[in-house]
Amino acid sequence: MTKPLLFTPLQIRSVTLKNRVVLAPMHQYASNQGFATDWHLMNAGKYAAGGCGLVMVESTKVERRGCGTVGDLGLWKDDFIPGLRRITDFIRARNAVPAIQIGHSGRKARLTRPWEGQQPLTADHPEMFDWEGWDLVAPSAIAHSDRMPVPRAFARAEIPDLVTHWGEAAARADKAGFDILEIHGAHGYLIHQFLSPEANRRNDAYGGSDANRMRFALEVAECVRANWPDHKPLFMRLSCEDDAGWGPEQSVVLARELKAKGVDVIDCSGGGILERSPMDSVRAREYGYQVPYAEKIRAEAGIKTMAVGHIVHADQAEAILRAGRADLVALARELLYNPNWALDAAQKLGADPDFATVPPAMGWWLGKRAKSAFQGVPSTYQNGVRAAAE
């Protein structure tokens, strides 16, 4: 049997992934004033132990103003490094590659957590700290929605320092032990706001034409690459289509420019500028509904891509790679439901019959289970499922 591509190693620069299964970055909203907690260690650690080749920590903010809510992780000062180093050490010890996404919420900041309604925060919130330093800022003074406050538009003179914050965060991510870095340029957050004609109404060098609106993203990528070791890969997540004036054709152009700035992989997602979620659409209920973005950018921009969006089954993920539609597949909610998805997929695709790629404290017991669990059990009940009567 041909070895599944899903479980074939992939080298990007000097980093080798043992497989193509990626934990997509998912906000945990669980920090303590920006500091990582035991929740973050547990959360990342279970996916590393469960077989993912690349474990990406959630969007971690490059400056205080960039926090979306009170629970966001931070990288705007060196004090955050030790807590993150604890996480990278654990991921690496489980034979997975530690990665982190860095971001800035822009006008989608200063809100309560999603399950708390994402309402505007106030200074008297019990978890509030540094309210005076949490200025609500954006490319233009346009609110994300009618229920959210209007941000202050960046002055032209503020933008160089803003770009520098991304580079400084990248340098800290390296010191914290991460081997792959992703810039968050999607989902209606700050970089996406600069890209969007809906959110960006500037009349200077950062607004107007597509080229001007791409300027901030490209300057951030250049600054991050300059502060991120050359031997380590750099990813960038894009909303390749947002139903608000930005689409796949512009994303291809931007991806080519990003590649020239040293970005290695485009993480292809969608939506976020408008208040409604892209998951609300009928199309979003289809398996792999965003894979066409990864396929198009890979083919037309000549850059590696990562596919995301309702990737659920092992054979589905394998088919995406076999067809050359992407180089990596990232899962989020499916991994929340089954943190051992990668382990299970390896079994289903015949890639690891002896459980050799998971920690021995798991693999030894699972090997014994595989050899003995169903001996003498009627075939109608094998694998814990009663087969339909013939």
Please state which CATH number belongs to domain 5-364: 3.20.20.70
Strands (E), 212-359: 234-239, 265-269, 304-307, 328-331
* More confidently predicted of 317 and 284: 317
Does the predicted TM-score (pTM) go above 0.85? yes
Catalytic residue among 29, 189, 289, 293: 189
How many CB atoms are located within 10 Å of the residue 387 CB?
Answer: 11
Please choose, from the candidates 138, 121, 268, the residue with its C-alpha nearest in 3D space to the C-alpha of residue 202: 138
Integer Cα distance of 275 and 288 in angstroms: 22
Within 10 Å of residue 204's Cβ, how many Cβ atoms?
Answer: 12
pLDDT band at residue 384 under the 50/70/90 scheme = very low
Amino acid letter for position 192: H
Are 22 and 52 within 8 A, CB to CB?
yes
pLDDT digits (tens, 9 = 90+) for 132-186: 999 999 999 999 999 999 999 999 999 999 999 999 999 999 999 999 999 999 9
CA 31 – CA 389 distance, rounded (Å): 51
Whether pLDDT at 86 is above 90: yes
Pick from 292, 249, 287, 253: which is nearest to 269 by CA?
A: 292
Domain locations along the chain: 5-364
> Of all residues in the chain, what percent carry a pLDDT higher than 90?
86
Q: Which of 84-93, 94-103, 379-388 has the lowest mean pLDDT?
A: 379-388
Helices 159-175 & 81-93 angle (0-180, nearest 10): 50
Q: pLDDT tens digits for 6-60?
A: 999 999 999 999 999 999 999 999 999 999 999 999 999 999 999 999 999 999 9
CA dist., res. 84 & res. 75, Å (int): 9
User: Does the annotation mark 381 as catalytic?
Assistant: no
